[in-house]
Amino acid sequence: MATGTRYAGKVVIVTGGGRGIGAGIVRAFVESGAQVVICDKDGSTGRTLEQELPGSVFVLCDVTQEDDVKTLVSETIRRFGRLDCVVNNAGSHPPPQWPEETSIQGFRQLLELNLLGMYTLTKLALPHLRKSRGNVINISSLVGAIGQSQAVPYVATKGAVTAMTKALALDESQYGVRVNCISPGNIWTPLWEELAASTPDPTAKIREGTLAQPLGRMGQPAEVGAAAVFLASEASFCTGIELLVTGGAELGFGCKAVQCSVPAGASVIP
């Protein structure tokens, strides 16, 4: 694989990097010339990607376990001697649930993964990012800003990710560390496919997700990866921003009441 020079000589950690959006981000950074540490709790997908992409290494890590995250950071520094960018991508989207179907325990577990995992890695990585005047990229979601039907816990965690990004950007600016987030809309990933499969009519759900964008298609993981490389390498005067990668899904005024044949507010947007 030919590599570019946009982020050559830099070291990047990508959590949840074994598949889907995370894998798209890993590929984009490798293609930019960076050394990429793939963090994933699934050893099979992470090791497969490591073998496919020279310039990447895999470290088994569950971001909900503080000791795992400490090992991830220390192993990165041991191997490469520096850290320039952390991409907090690991997360999950539960199947659609009405509020009365959710549980306190399920919400707590989602918070541990989608929000506290990001906090833990960022906190442990900051001493190294301050040395390199590096940056943090958090993967949030469009629904953190616009809401989503049957997804109260998920939307709450992603709204918190976006808010945490802005607060961190303020605190870290004094050290020259930039903190930004990407909020994807409908990106075609294994997670999206699994969520569709959990509905009564997966084909209809996929069509609904496809037609939610004015561009008439879902996005691809590579497109989120391109946005991440841009934020890390070229967006040197951007901090605290939320970059929407959505195909325009948030645009326009439309029927969202339950009487509508296709409730726009019910789109599945991992």
Asked if residues 254 and 58 have their Cβ atoms less than 8 Å apart, the reply is: no
Q: Give, in order, the Cα–Cα distances in Å from 38 to each of 83, 190, 191.
A: 13, 18, 18
By annotation, the residues acting in catalysis are: 154
Whether 49 contacts 17, CB under 8 Å: yes
d(CA 91, CA 269): 13
Answer whether 153's CB lies under 8 Å from 106's CB.
yes
∠ at Cα 143 (140, 144), nearest 5°? 55
Q: Are 184 and 209 in contact (CB under 8 A)?
A: no
Rounded Cα distance, 269 and 261, in Å: 19
